[in-house]
Structure 1
């Protein structure tokens, strides 16, 4: 029809017929509904509205399809047998939903209703409508719970691990609309029991310093001593087998499995989401989580892959830039008893780290600003941006370096003590260690060797933010004592402020 197209299900008008004839078509193949048929859009809308229970919204029909959207964040609730019953009334009815108790954000599609044919017999629609309305799909909205996290400490507890547990748990709780408070206590029955007894919250989480082996272990024993009870230890979800479910009065208690320290979805999420949605969780509920409880390998911690440990950390100082905003080579500018670059290198050496300096623009002048024994590598592509300097440094890093602390040569106020703490924090070769001050991340950044290849593939004037974002679960934050982690000397004004800060130290 000269480029025109009649979509499936179009109700033909006289104008459509005239256009078809003008385009040279003498015949059209059409479908005519019977007297008691309900056209697809009307049937889909009626059935969609019947199936959309509390918290779900049936959208306008499009080509016989109606989507059911979540009106808020929450869990989808329905009985699969009732969906089967709706679909059994006619082969043209297709009600498809996400799995029961699937977590949804506001606006997410929870289910879709499709009428496959152009129309549906009225009797089939009415029967399906009755079934759908009697047992609709609903949404259990998440409630803003007050959650308290107790972490227990035993021996030389890992500050890094506890900080990560805190960060990951807070993100989980706040994503569900909750508020998290925290405390720490000894991994001891009496101390933990006192902490549990003193907690006033809607939900209590306990992250033990060691895994709970049986009901006589520290966490369940402490719950009992505090006047509570352990409802179940263990669940058929992997990862998440070692979750403990308890209660003290009306306050649910979750003894967190070790996998809860990871942001990847695990059995802890199953239980946490139900409690936030106001769905009671008993021992029998956990026992029924086996179907769908084996999480796909893509969502599980990689148990097979070895995680090489960090033994040697080196420092790579990036000193290849063109100082375009300064008007002169900022790295060679006077700073204290030496130069800006010299101060940055001295900080790395003061932290006990071997140092490699990456040169580029005015390489001769930059080398002259360094100690005579400083190791250097030249980034021939430095004009292409920061990524070229980073790739050159990582490519020249000695093979025995398990991690590299990447410093910007124009940040001379970063403290040696901070660099030493960052180097000491890295445990595995996939760790990323970043300094934070008042909740804001800065430089330098420590990269485990397993990230070197990804960093070397970067292009343009970019650092490693994209790589960091892709590996948030490996990221460890270290508190910096000052805002020096944000202070570079890109301009004469910034250099003057840094010199004044140095004078006042």
Structure 2
């Protein structure tokens, strides 16, 4: 790359896009990389402030910004995503279908720490729709050392930074617990809430029963639901520390591995997560899921439907960002709630 006076650049090849900004009208390239400069181009270049201009000089040790941006894209891309057009050293990644976005944060941090390049993504563990922007990449200078890009590529040699996991339309069982509902003293208002949330993901409720506060019956109900094909079991009620709240014991007695009883999330502190035979989630849902707009259940459900195993460490990390502010107008997921994991 060589810098020369614009008036002397006739016949030379541009090595980068030239952008023209007219407030409220346009922000776009008036000349693209590879354009051969003509005499007629000189006034236009001067009008956008280019009294000197870089022209292309091939250097075997350097990469043009667009070539290097392609490398950043390759480091990020995975199944179910495609690139935007490369422009001024920038490439964006677009979702080809809906799903759960996963981000390898350590790799992302290492690449961004190399300097002269950047990758910005959405938060990981969030749902995206077809056509959503997943990430943007950019090379900062006009040219960059090949050796630096090789170091960046080495960070991702065992896999890309992004993953888009499809959501599965699971068969769901709902076990409503509590003597007050079982004996008809109050109406079951919990199940309709869950059914509506499951509809957002086209899941099918194949099993629903109401149980007294009898932990043995609830245990049998969980196992019966799984025998009937349930791929996700949701138990409502009986999740607090009152002596007659028996749902946690019932779930434990199924033989499921308890990941956590409790989560640093409000609403949703009394959340229980377990895995039966390491593949079927059995979940205990606290009462707040019935009346609060967004809770721990909204954070966990997409991951459960994507077969993305949730660990105790990840649940613990939800403490930062785990406080829902109950805004008058809910903007979730475009807010900080649940962005800690």
Report the Cα distance in structure 2 between the residues aligned to 1:23 and 1:225, rounded to whole angstroms. 75
Change (3 A) 1:23 1:236: closer
**Match of residue 129 from structure 1:** 153
Matched, 1:186 2:211: yes
1:56-135 → structure 2 map (5 Å cutoff): 56-91=81-116, 93-135=117-159
How far apart are the structure 2 equivalents of 1:100 and 1:297? Answer: 22
Determine whether 1:18 maps to 2:43.
no
Higher fraction of helix: 1
Q: Which residue in the other structure is 1:221 paired with?
A: 249
Distance 1:21 1:272 in 2: 58
1:122 Cα shift? 2.2
Q: Whole-Å Cα distance in 2 between the matches of residues 23 and 273 of structure 1?
A: 51
Q: Distance in 1 between matches of 2:34 and 2:313?
A: 57
Deviations 1:48-85 (A, max 9, x none): 12221233323221332211122322222233221121
Which residue is 1:415 aligned to? none
Over the aligned positions, Cα root-mean-square deviation in angstroms equals: 3.4
**Counterpart position of 2:54:** 31
Structure 1 residue 153: deviation in Å?
A: 4.3
DSSP-derived class of the 1:232 partner: strand
Q: Do the aligned partners of 2:267 and 2:292 also contact (CA within 8 Å) in 1?
A: no
Q: Normalized against structure 2, the TM-score is what?
A: 0.73
1:142-194 CA distance string (max 9 Å, x none): 122211111124335443xx34x333322322333422234232332144233
Give the one of 263, 271, 274 matched to 1:243: 271
* 1:444-475 Cα shifts (integer Å, max 9, x gaps): xxxxxxxxxxxxxxxxxxxxxxxxxxxxxxxx
Counterparts in 2 of 1:169 and 1:7: CA distance versus 1, 3 Å: same
Mapped partners of 1:231, 1:24: distance in 2:
64
Is 2:221 the partner of 1:199? no
Instruction: Give the aligned partner of residue 338 of structure 1.
Output: none
| Structure 1 residue 228 displacement after superposition | 4.5
CA contact (8 A) 1:231 1:246 kept: yes
Counterparts of 1:186 and 1:16 in 2: how far apart (Å)? 82
Deviation for aligned residue 1:261 = 2.0
Change (3 A) 1:67 1:127: same
Taking the TM superposition and a 5 Å limit, the aligned residue runs for 1:198-347 are 198-200=224-226, 201-208=230-237, 210-213=238-241, 217-228=245-256, 230-249=258-277, 250-262=279-291, 264-298=293-327
Q: Is the 8 A contact 1:51 1:133 kept in 2?
A: no
Shift of 1:217: 2.8
Query: Could you say which structure has the larger radius of gyration?
Result: 1
Runs of 4+ in 1 over 6 A off after TM superposition: 3-6, 22-27
Q: How many residues align?
A: 295
Task: Give CA deviations for 1:209-247 in whole Å, capped at 9, x if unaligned.
Answer: x54226973212323455556442111122211111234
Structure 2: runs of 5 or more not aligned = 1-19, 331-341
Aligned mates of 2:46, 2:251 — CA distance in 1:
83
Deviations 1:319-377 (A, max 9, x none): xxxxxxxxxxxxxxxxxxxxxxxxxxxxxxxxxxxxxxxxxxxxxxxxxxxxxxxxxxx
CA distance in 2, matches of 1:53, 1:265: 30
**Residues 167/114 of structure 1: CA separation in 2 closer, same or farther (3 Å cut):** farther
Provide the C-alpha distance between the structure 1 equivalents of 2:28 and 2:248, rounded to a whole number of angstroms: 68
- C-alpha distance in structure 1 between counterparts of 2:247 and 2:312, whole Å: 17
CA distance in 2, matches of 1:245, 1:197: 16
1:360-409 Cα deviation digits (max 9, x unpaired): xxxxxxxxxxxxxxxxxxxxxxxxxxxxxxxxxxxxxxxxxxxxxxxxxx
Report if aligned partners of 2:231, 2:281 keep a CA contact under 8 Å in 1.
yes
Note the C-alpha offset of 1:39: 2.4
Match of 2:7 in 1: none
CA contact (8 A) 1:266 1:300 kept: no
Which whole-Å CA distance do the structure 2 matches of 1:243 and 1:300 have between them? 25
Query: How far 1:272 moved relative to its partner?
Result: 1.9
